[in-house]
Amino acid sequence: MTVDQFKEQIKRKDPLANLSNYLMCIGFIMAGFYFYNLILTTAKSDVAYGLLIIPTTILAMGLYGFWRIPRTHDVVMIQSKLDTSEKLKIVQAFLSLTKSEAKPNKNKFFEASYCNEFENKVELLFYVDSQKILFNVQKGNQFRAGRMFDFGVSKRAAEKIEEYLTENFTAASQRK
């Protein structure tokens, strides 16, 4: 499986999340411009111009969302010549370390979720084959929309998982 095929698998898992997130971003941008217009047309003193920080923040949230949403489907690939069963054992060891709830998916996929040290839910999707392991990390959210506000949770989790897997794959291949 290629990285692009894996991304398509992720997108199929939750097809309406991006649409709702983009609509939310458009709403933030429209609200930001509305409040800019409201403040600029009704401001009678210099103090009122200080309120421009509010629409600026709202507008920035909408623009941040347009930057952030495509990164929801970022995939990390780790090349390894270990046996698939050995890779699965290392992944399972990481999941047990984080007290994850793992459920097998079709083919060589499996999904897991755990809560990080700040009680943020992190959702994972793994694909393991003989040449590589692919995984995607997303901040979990019970409403599925609003994932654009993950405040770096998925990036930090992906770095932590990649570091753990790389170290353990290297150690396992040196033992052989």
The reply to whether 40 and 112 lie within a common domain is no
Of the three residues 52, 69, 86, the one that is the final residue of a domain is 69
- Residue 3's nearest CA partner among 136, 94, 162, 170 is 136
Count of structural domains, the chain: 2
Confidence (pTM): 0.76
pLDDT tens track, the chain, 176 positions: 788 888 887 776 666 777 888 899 999 999 999 999 998 888 777 777 788 899 999 999 999 988 888 888 888 898 888 888 888 888 888 888 888 777 766 667 788 888 877 777 888 888 888 888 899 888 776 445 555 667 788 888 889 989 998 898 888 877 76
Q: 124 and 152, same structural domain?
A: yes
CA pair distance 80, 114, nearest whole angstrom: 25
Query: CA gyration radius for the chain?
Result: 21
The tokens for 9 are: 């698998």
